[in-house]
Chain A
Amino acid sequence: MASIEQAERRAPWILLSPALTAVGLLLLVPLVFVLVYSFWLRSAVGGIDATFSFNNWAEVLGDRFYRDILLQTIKIALITTVVCALAGYPAAYFIARVKGVNRGFLLLLLMLPFWVSYIIRTMSWINILGVSGAVNSLLQAMGIVTDPIQMLYNETTVVLGLVHYLLPFMILNIYVSLDGIDTTLEDAAHSLGATRWQAFTEVTLPLSMPGLGAGALLCFVLGAGTYITPIILGGPRDAMFANLVFDAIITQLDWPLGAALSLALLVVLGTVVVVYNRFAGLGQLAKGLG
């Protein structure tokens, strides 16, 4: 019969086993498939030719086209992250300082967009900014313009769509961080001679950096991995890296090339996460998502 100590040592693994099984079957096994695919070739008829080859990787790593799109993707994700941080911080600060029922209401409002599909939310911009959208109709009705302005399908609208999608994640992460900061710290700084603004920059801002960092990481990774937003709101030149994966797999039926491309993106984003974890730790991320 097993001793109590042995049972206790085994307990965590027993409790974790359903989750580990799910992660193993649904994440790790498919990832291994993707890795294997990336070393195979597309057959002439669009199927898979299971012969080992470095061709896909040579193309992904050697072609400037892919590198440029990767840089473009990182740029758009970075701009989105900065905009989210600048717009999200004041909102999070406000929510964290509101008391009682109102705070719950504001947090509910923040969750509200998640009840509507991300695709629908993105498409809604067509009704607002499109050629026959709300803004153009208004401008025409007021006689400011005669012909509708083309506002959609450029890099700015891609960033706009991404900010729309990712801002709640940023606000929630900063909010959680701010909520954990004792407000008397600002009072203390203030009483010692700092102005409100100085008290904020000296005390509250540095203490909320973990939340800001976690929010930024989420925004960057989710932003850089998206392909829906550029499809709906971007022009032909605004493709992001995930669009290439989509094209390779769905349009060209070239699964092996798609596998290599998606692994390349995974490695880049994974590196960002690892570097972040090295400096800030991922624990904060769990807090923000809870």
Chain B
Amino acid sequence: MENAVELRDIVKRFGSFTAVHRMSLDIEQGSFLTLLGPSGCGKTTTLRMIAGLIDTTEGDISIKGKRVNNLPIHKRNLGIVFQNYALFPHKTINENVAFGLKYRGVVGEEAERRVRDALELVQLPQMGDRYPRQLSGGQQQRIALARAIVIEPDVLLLDEPLSALDANLREDMRVELKRIQDKLGITTVFVTHDQGEALAMSDKIVVMRGGKIEQVGEPQAVYDAPESEFVAEFLGSTNILGGRVSGRQGEGVTVDATPFEGVEVPADRAGQTNGATDIKLLLRAEKLLVEPGGSADGGGIAAPAVVETVDYQGQSVRYFLRVGDRRLQAINMVNGKPFAEGETVTARFDPRHCSLLPAQPGEAQA
């Protein structure tokens, strides 16, 4: 498939600080790509370089096959939605949305029609004559989106557009944004530090750390098969246990990782160990099931545990368990009454749900 945006070895330095370090990335036409990472990972810097708001120190950026390094922002034909909306406070909603059309020579009835269509797309057709300050935060965000897409940009750039909204609104806007993106089929680059947004909306997630790409993949692949501890911990809650390979059966491996012994990890989950003996066992918190103490053998791997902390969240509950000398997290759906603090329980998981990484050199399990 054709690439809408290509980054080739781009570097951004601010003085002696390197914000983005030799990053290369292809963004497919029509796809929704998310740059995900903690603050300071270089995701916003990358977006701003694509936008042309800042220069690249090294490397090339191409949009639709055309190198744009020296093309000023107003000639790049991009739609940008800023974190703080950046609506023009002295212009009405209609004037805000029509702003980009004016500079493309679209005026009169044609402009009116397209503004109307854009406002309908974001489901605010009645707001045209109001001023931004008369709208709620969520409505302003929709207008900012309408203003960015009405010019039919080659690429839509979203800089943490949902982070200023409160939680419920954010989830609604997430669905809304994805719906509009699907409908228009517009290539979208989305920057966020929120893993939930990234997983829910993206065709592809780029996890960034310290100015470098840590992992690229489809949401499910990144979530299920993290290629590093960082990715495992950043996306979701993960228990990471140091351990050793104690045996191999065909492609699968048997692992001892205190407090769990004889974990038989199937081949498709152990692929990344490449024959190493010192490994890390990654176990998602929601894959660790908490059952009543001494419950009958339900298969898989089990160990007795004590509930230390209960973090009740309504539909689900997060337990911090003490298993031997280890502290593990488990996120379970609530079925009846949650377990109480101090209660003795059984922690159980299916070996098919964990995955392995080779231990970093120098931190081998003694």
Q: Which residues of A contact B (CB under 8 A)?
A: 182, 184-185, 187-195, 198, 202-203, 206-207
B-side interface mostly: loop
Q: What are some 11 contacts across the A-B interface (CB < 8 A)?
A: A182-B84, A184-B86, A185-B86, A191-B78, A191-B80, A192-B99, A193-B75, A193-B100, A193-B103, A193-B151, A207-B89
Are B82 and A188 neighbours in the complex by a CB distance under 8 Å?
yes
Binding site for A on B (CB under 8 A): 51-53, 72-80, 82, 84, 86-90, 99-100, 102-104, 147-148, 151
Residues of chain B lying within 8 A (CB to CB) of residue A185: 86, 88
- Complex Cα distance, B147 from A184, in Å, reads 15
B90 near A207: Cβ-Cβ < 8 Å:
yes
Min CB distance A169 to B, Å, is: 25
Interchain CA distance A191-B102 in the complex, whole Å: 13
Return A187 CB to nearest CB of chain B, in Å: 6
Beta-carbon contact of B100 and A192 below 8 Å: yes
Name the residue of chain B whose CB is nearest to the CB of A199. B74
Q: Could you say which residues of chain A place their CB within 8 Å of the CB of B53? A: 187, 191
Q: Say whether A191 contacts B73, CB under 8 Å.
A: yes
Residue from A187, A193, A195 having most chain B Cβ neighbours under 10 A: A193
Known A193-B74, A195-B74; contact A188-B103, beta-carbon cutoff 8 A: no
Residue of B nearest to A183 (CB): B86
A75: min CB distance to chain B, Å: 32
A145 to B: closest C-beta gap in Å: 49
Complexed CA–CA distance, A188 and B74 (Å): 10
A198–B74 Cα gap in the complex (Å)? 11
B74 and A191 within 8 A (CB): yes
Are A206 and B84 neighbours in the complex by a CB distance under 8 Å? no
- Are B104 and A193 closer than 8 Å at their CB atoms? yes
Q: Is the CB of B86 within 8 A of A192?
A: no
CB of B90 within 8 A of CB of A189, answer no
Q: Which B residues are CB-close (under 8 A) to A190? A: 73-74
Contact of B103 among A182, A187, A192 (CB under 8 A): A192
| Residues in A whose Cβ lies below 8 Å from that of B88 | 185, 188-189, 202-203
Q: Does A192 lie within 8 Å of B147, measured CB to CB?
A: yes
In the assembled complex, the CB of B328 is this many whole angstroms from the nearest CB of chain A, namely: 44
Q: Which residues of A contact B147 (CB under 8 A)?
A: 188, 192
Min CB–CB distance B333 → chain A (angstroms): 42
Of B52, B76, B99, B104, most A-chain CB atoms within 10 Å: B99
Which A residue's beta carbon lies closest to that of B75?
A193
CB of A156 to closest CB in B, whole Å? 37
| Residues of chain B lying within 8 A (CB to CB) of residue A202 | 88, 99
Complex: A206 Cα to B103 Cα, angstroms: 18
Shortest CB-to-CB span from B153 to chain A, Å, is 9
Contact B90–A194 (Cβ < 8 Å): no
Inter-chain CA distance A198–B89, complex, in Å, is 17
- Establish whether residues B151 and A188, one from each chain, have CB atoms under 8 Å apart when the complex forms: no
CB distance from A36 to the nearest CB of B (A): 47
Q: Known pairs A190-B74, A192-B74, A192-B147. 7 more at Cβ < 8 A?
A: A187-B73, A191-B52, A193-B104, A194-B74, A194-B103, A202-B99, A207-B89
B51 neighbours in A (Cβ, 8 Å): 191
Q: Give every chain A residue within 8 A of B103 (Cβ-Cβ).
A: 192-194, 198
Q: How far is the CB of A180 from chain B (nearest CB, A)?
A: 11
> Which chain B positions have C-beta within 8 A of A203?
88, 90
Taken together as a complex, chains A and B put the C-alpha atoms of A49 and B190 apart, in Å, by 83
Given contacts A190-B74, A193-B103, A198-B103, contact A184 B89 (CB under 8 A): no
Bound: A195/B90 CA distance, A: 19
- B44 to chain A minimum Cβ distance, whole angstroms, is 12
Whole-angstrom distance between the Cβ of A268 and the nearest chain B Cβ: 32
> A280 to nearest B CB, angstroms?
14
- 9 smallest beta-carbon distances between A and B, as pairs: A193-B103, A192-B100, A188-B86, A184-B86, A191-B80, A184-B82, A193-B74, A190-B73, A192-B99
* Residue pair A182, B74 in contact (C-beta under 8 Å): no
Interface contact A184-B84, CB-CB below 8 Å: yes
A153 to chain B, nearest CB (A): 45
Minimal beta-carbon separation of A94 from chain B (angstroms) = 20
Which residue of A has the minimal Cβ distance to B104?
A: A193
Q: Is the CB of A191 within 8 A of B79?
A: yes
Taken together as a complex, chains A and B put the C-alpha atoms of A195 and B103 apart, in Å, by 9
Minimum C-beta distance from B98 to chain A (A): 10
Which chain B positions have C-beta within 8 A of A187? 53, 73, 80, 82, 86
Q: A191 to chain B: which residues have CB within 8 Å? A: 51-53, 73-74, 76, 78-80
Which single residue of chain B is at the shortest CB-CB distance from A198? B103
Q: Chain A nearest CB: distance from B115 CB in Å?
A: 13
Chain B residues with CB under 8 A of A206: 90
Closest chain-B Cβ to A205's Cβ sits at a distance in Å of: 10
Q: Which of chain B's residues have a CB closer than 8 A to the CB of A188?
A: 80, 82, 86-88, 147
- A residues within 8 A CB of B80? 187-188, 191
**Bound: A207/B88 CA distance, A:** 9
Q: How far is the CB of B152 from chain A (nearest CB, A)?
A: 12
Instruction: Kindly list chain B residues whose C-beta atoms are within 8 Å of the C-beta of A198.
Output: 103
> What's the least CB distance linking B185 to chain A, in Å?
21
What is the distance, in angstroms, from A265's C-beta to the closest C-beta of chain B?
35
Q: Which of B74, B82, B90, B151 has the most CB of A within 10 A?
A: B74
**Given the complex of chains A and B, what is the CA–CA distance between A188 and B103 in angstroms?**
13
The CA of A185 and the CA of B99, in the complex, are separated in Å by 12
Closest to B53 in A: A187
Give the complex CA separation of A85 and B43 in angstroms.
41
